[in-house]
Amino acid sequence: MELVSQNKVFGGAHRRYRHRSATLGCDMVFAVFLPPQALAGEKVPVLYWLSGLTCTDENFMQKAGAFRTAADLGLAIVAPDTSPRGEGVPGDPDGSWDFGLGAGFYVDATQEPWSKHYRMHDYVVNELPALVEAEFPVTGLRSISGHSMGGHGALVCALRNPGRYRSISAFAPISNPTDVPWGQKAFGHLLGPERIGWLAWDASVLIAGSDERLPLLVDQGEADSFLESQLKPERLKEAADAAGYPLTLRRHAGYDHSYYFIASFIDDHLRHAARALEIA
């Protein structure tokens, strides 16, 4: 790994690293917050944060305001990028912002030319945690959270990989991607035209077949301009209720899709993870 930058914050350390990803076939940058307990030699659990469309690791680390509470709890945070990047990595063929670079949708692509690089699910679930657990003072205990496209990613990573995480949470996730424009565009490119193959990447479908029961917290702003057209949290709630899955869905009047919303409730999500990780 190559250290890109570092900052001291609330007695801990925020660092950015670059490494060569065998899974994605390109160089990747990720960020890690190590709380003061880790810097003192204690191994701490990790919350993985998956960001949304157009974001990088920097959006959450700079805007969410998570470090004070994470430092108090003794919780590391790891934030990967949202897609593969670099020369030779294809972007949106139409040049738009909602697919391709910065918008990998946390699936493992099966279609060319995407399948060579767009394997963000495998990267987030397997390669990155293996690297983090080998290189940093962290335990093998993990929780996962995310926003929008990253909320979809967090849900799918946990639901597809029982035993991998202790809790899930999400802000304004794309809850039913097979039935909204963002998901249909991305899945059509990455997974091909046969919609039956999309269902394995849709949280509102996966939750019905899950044998694991992780604590799941979802926050949704009611002033979110994407609520009705792209997010559809009611689909996730209906599926969870039908399956007896322990979902807490909170709707907040006046809040939108921005990091102002995330910053307002991030402490709840950190404590949600900490309880499951048995550090709170």
Catalytic residue numbers? 148, 224, 257
Q: Give 105-119 as a DSSP string.
A: TT-B--STTGGGT-B
- Torsion sign over Cα 129, 130, 131, 132: positive
Residue type, 96: S
Measure CA of the first residue to CA of the last residue in the chain; give whole Å. 31
Q: Give me the residue label for tokens 């990088």.
A: 56
Beta bridge partners of 252: 221
Residues contacting 130, CB < 8 A, separation 6+: none
**Helix residue ranges per DSSP H, the chain:** 36-39, 57-63, 67-73, 120-122, 128-135, 149-160, 181-191, 203-206, 233-243, 259-276
- From CA 158, how far away is CA 210, in angstroms rounded? 10
Beta bridge partners of 7: 14
- Torsion sign over Cα 28, 157, 233, 104: positive
